[in-house]
């Protein structure tokens, strides 16, 4: 960004919405159009000792990339030069418009000239300056000729078929894999990537098949099925599939009656899966909430909610660590499983008693989570270590992304939401690249690039967790906040493609660098239509009745 004034302090001569902040002299009205409210704007500082350079650059880039209500790149620069008057004069009229006598066009041309000089000089003369300049209309290059959103969508469309697999061996139905280093069918990967590619890339048959494969291998007596499968059989990696199979099936079918009927033969397996999570081994008797077998089973391999993640760690002792973790992610997923089962029963003409059984369990789960996991003083959902060992039962209050997962199931009350949103958007949780898996204040916080023995959930940004939270926020009317989170993650995905021409499974929450699993193509596919969905108020994970007009569950 080109500034003629000294950048060690901001022009402080104006007040109200015209007040300037940051070294770039962005005013409060301009920032509001980008999605940065007054509290956010005032946090950017007015002199070199108070500047928040990382956040200021983030909002500057939002404007230069033509995102937010301010409009296109031209519109943003018109506002910066001519204020609201110049902005309104040329809003939506493109690069040919000039807000006379404020000379907006000359200002835009000067910015473009400066950007062109930086691009010609190369990265040695700037700090990641190419990212600042790449999407300005005047300096588009052959390698950077689309917005971040379009770049992400293009990558998903071009590579979607790498995740599609034909039936083979143990897996009798089509299925999805995360590509890269992962040839397996995974439980929640399949649901997230299947939904992520429904709109753009024809994933429905493979999402349907993935869920059918899990149901096909569900033991009718015990309800057990592992969460990671290969054509050669079960892998033993995930003790039991996460409760996402029924919702994955429902989301795949949508309003397609033939698809819904294809699952009818597996109703006994669906019921067996739900009964499994209600078994004595899986339910904590004091809270009535389900327990993870270990932290690894949750998919967030080494999240600090557990003192020892799994038998892969030398600290593992079944007496202390097996079937002891009660956390909000499991309750959230299981609530949606009962909801999906009720919807299937409704579509199949099931009995009132069967449907009511599922509804009752939904209500019990929501009540138990809000009673036993919600902490009013902290303003977020906590967890419980229910061990009967010498460590003793205790509440786990680590600040992790799971605190926001109940939004995904609309379990959170309206009063709780206000506090929860505030906690999620605090600096220790929300980075410039998305919501961290673990708070930057946590003693175990780190951004190590690792995949063995665990993928790292102790700090990095993970796309699926951010998607769950942002779509949950949308359901509660927090569209602006949802878009802010999603845009940061989509920008990060686009930057990864520009840097490494591929994606990774997680992202460093301090730098945005890709971490582990080169070639990963799983829940990052959610970026394809994420921002478009949020702008339109569409939640692709919404569990709605198959027939318009039917009662919701």
**Least confident residue range of 96-105, 349-358, 461-470:** 96-105
37 & 161 share domain: no
pLDDT (0 to 100) of residue 379: 98
pLDDT (0 to 100) of residue 6: 55
Please state, in angstroms and as integers, the Cα–Cα distance from residue 306 to each residue in 257, 320, 334, 386, 523, following that order: 42, 10, 20, 11, 24
Count the alpha carbons within 13 Å of 431 in the hemisphere toward its beta carbon.
26
181 & 248 share domain: yes
Q: 9 lies in a domain? A: no
How many other C-beta atoms can be found within 10 angstroms of the C-beta atom of residue 371?
11
Longest dimension (CA), the chain: 79
382 & 470 share domain: yes
Nearest Cα neighbor of 516 from 444, 440, 442, 437 is 437
Q: How confident is the model at residue 114 (pLDDT cuts 50, 70, 90)?
A: low
Q: Compute φ and ψ for 2, nearest 5 degrees.
A: -95, 125
Which helix (H) or strand (E) covers residue 48, if one does? none
Residue count (the chain) = 553
Instruction: Specify which residues 374 forms β-bridges with.
Output: 381
79 & 217 share domain: no
pLDDT (0 to 100) of residue 206: 98
Q: Which domain holds residue 340?
A: 150-536
d(CA 316, CA 267): 37
Stretch 228-237: mean pLDDT, rounded? 97
Q: 200 lies in a domain? A: yes
8 A C-beta contact, residue 73 and residue 136? yes
201 & 102 share domain: no
For residue 134, pLDDT over 70 is answered with no
* pLDDT tens track for 256-293: 999 999 999 999 999 999 999 999 999 999 999 999 99
Stretch 133-153: mean pLDDT, rounded? 54
d(CA 68, CA 88): 15
Q: 545 lies in a domain? A: no
pLDDT (0 to 100) of residue 128: 42
288 & 376 share domain: yes
What 8-state DSSP symbol labels residue 94? Answer: -
pLDDT (0 to 100) of residue 548: 52
114 & 156 share domain: no
Which helix (H) or strand (E) covers residue 79, if one does? helix 73-90
* pLDDT tens track for 321-343: 999 999 999 999 999 999 999 99
Percentage of the chain lying above the pLDDT 70 cut: 87
pLDDT (0 to 100) of residue 547: 67
For residue 165, pLDDT over 60 is answered with yes
Stretch 508-518: mean pLDDT, rounded? 97
30 & 170 share domain: no
pLDDT (0 to 100) of residue 391: 64
Stretch 366-386: mean pLDDT, rounded? 98
Q: 4 lies in a domain? A: no
169 & 95 share domain: no
Q: How confident is the model at residue 62 (pLDDT cuts 50, 70, 90)?
A: confident
8 A C-beta contact, residue 326 and residue 287? yes
Distance of CA 225 to the CA centre of its chain: 26
134 vs 465, residue with greater confidence? 465
pLDDT (0 to 100) of residue 550: 66
pLDDT (0 to 100) of residue 1: 47
Stretch 442-450: mean pLDDT, rounded? 98
Boundary of a domain, candidates 149, 165, 183: 149
Q: 511 lies in a domain? A: yes
110 & 203 share domain: no
* Structural domains in the chain (count): 2
273 & 398 share domain: yes
d(CA 119, CA 134): 9
Q: Compute φ and ψ for 193, nearest 5 degrees.
A: -70, -35
180 vs 256, residue with greater confidence? 256
Report pTM: 0.75
8 A C-beta contact, residue 440 and residue 424? no
Mean confidence (pLDDT) of the chain = 88
**Least confident residue range of 139-143, 343-347, 356-360:** 139-143
d(CA 177, CA 259): 21
Boundary of a domain, candidates 149, 183, 208: 149
Stretch 8-13: mean pLDDT, rounded? 74
* pLDDT tens track for 21-48: 878 888 888 888 888 888 887 888 887 7
Nearest Cα neighbor of 155 from 545, 510, 538, 504 is 504
* pLDDT tens track for 424-436: 999 999 999 999 9
d(CA 502, CA 311): 32
The CATH number for 435's domain is 1.50.10.10
Boundary of a domain, candidates 149, 178, 199: 149
Q: How confident is the model at residue 141 (pLDDT cuts 50, 70, 90)?
A: very low
d(CA 162, CA 333): 27
For residue 308, pLDDT over 70 is answered with yes
Q: 136 lies in a domain? A: yes
For residue 151, pLDDT over 50 is answered with yes
8 A C-beta contact, residue 240 and residue 227? yes
How many other C-beta atoms can be found within 10 angstroms of the C-beta atom of residue 205?
15
Q: 548 lies in a domain? A: no
**Helical H segments across 122-264, by residue range:** 129-133, 148-159, 187-196, 198-201, 204-216, 245-253, 257-262
pLDDT (0 to 100) of residue 85: 76
For residue 90, pLDDT over 90 is answered with no
Residue 267: exposed, middle, or buried by beta-carbon count in 10 A (0-12, 13-18, 19+)? middle
Strands 380-381 and 374-375: antiparallel
138 & 170 share domain: no
d(CA 305, CA 381): 12
pLDDT (0 to 100) of residue 389: 64
For residue 132, pLDDT over 60 is answered with no
């Amino acid at each position: 960004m080109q500034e003629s004034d000294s950048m060690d302090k901001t022009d402080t001569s104006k007040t109200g919405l015209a007040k300037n902040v940051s070294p770039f002299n962005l005013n409060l009205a301009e920032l509001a159009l980008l999605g940065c409210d007054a509290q956010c704007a005032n946090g950017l500082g007015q002199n070199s000792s108070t500047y928040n350079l990382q956040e200021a650059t983030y909002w500057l880039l939002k404007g230069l990339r033509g995102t937010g209500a301010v409009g296109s790149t031209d519109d943003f620069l018109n506002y910066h030069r001519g204020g609201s008057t110049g902005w309104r004069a040329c809003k939506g009229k493109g690069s040919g418009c000039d807000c006379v006598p404020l000379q907006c066009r000359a200002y835009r041309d000067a910015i473009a000239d400066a950007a062109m000089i930086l691009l010609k000089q190369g990265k040695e003369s700037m700090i990641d300056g190419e990212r600042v300049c790449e999407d300005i209309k005047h300096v588009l290059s052959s390698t950077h000729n689309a917005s971040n959103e379009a770049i992400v969508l293009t990558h998903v469309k071009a590579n979607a078929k790498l995740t599609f697999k034909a039936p083979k061996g143990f897996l009798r139905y089509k299925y999805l894999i995360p590509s890269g280093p992962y040839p397996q069918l995974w439980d929640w990967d399949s649901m997230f990537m299947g939904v992520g590619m429904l709109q753009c890339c024809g994933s429905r048959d493979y999402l349907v098949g993935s869920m059918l494969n899990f149901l096909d291998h569900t033991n009718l007596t015990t309800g057990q099925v592992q969460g990671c499968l290969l054509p050669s059989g079960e892998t033993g990696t995930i003790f039991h599939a996460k409760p996402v199979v029924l919702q994955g099936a429902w989301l795949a079918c949508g309003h397609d009656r033939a698809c819904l009927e294809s699952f009818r033969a597996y109703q006994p397996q669906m019921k067996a899966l739900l009964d499994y999570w209600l078994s004595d081994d899986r339910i904590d008797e004091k809270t009535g909430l389900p327990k993870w077998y270990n932290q690894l089973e949750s998919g967030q391999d080494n999240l600090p909610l557990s003192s020892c993640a799994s038998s892969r760690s030398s600290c593992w002792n079944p007496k202390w660590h097996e079937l002891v973790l009660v956390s909000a992610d499991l309750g959230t997923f299981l609530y949606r499983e009962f909801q999906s089962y009720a919807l299937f029963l409704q579509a199949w003409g099931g009995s009132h008693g069967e449907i009511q059984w599922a509804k009752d369990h939904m209500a019990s789960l929501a009540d138990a989570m809000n009673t036993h996991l919600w902490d009013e003083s902290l303003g977020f959902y906590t967890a419980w270590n229910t061990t009967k060992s010498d460590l003793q039962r205790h509440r786990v209050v680590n600040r992790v992304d799971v605190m926001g997962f109940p939004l995904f199931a609309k379990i959170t009350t309206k009063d709780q939401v206000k506090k929860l949103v505030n906690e999620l958007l605090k600096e220790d949780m929300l980075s410039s690249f998305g919501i961290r898996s673990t708070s930057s204040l946590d003693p175990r916080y780190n951004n190590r690039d690792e995949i063995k023995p665990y993928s790292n959930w102790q700090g990095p940004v993970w796309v699926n967790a951010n998607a769950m939270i942002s779509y949950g926020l949308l359901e509660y009317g927090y569209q602006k906040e949802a878009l802010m989170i999603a845009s940061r993650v989509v920008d990060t995905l686009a930057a990864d493609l520009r840097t490494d021409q591929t994606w990774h499974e997680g992202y460093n929450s301090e730098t945005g660098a890709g971490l582990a699993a080169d070639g990963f193509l799983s829940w990052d596919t959610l970026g394809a239509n994420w921002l478009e969905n949020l702008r339109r108020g569409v939640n692709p994970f919404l569990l709605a009745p198959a027939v318009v007009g039917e009662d919701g569950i």
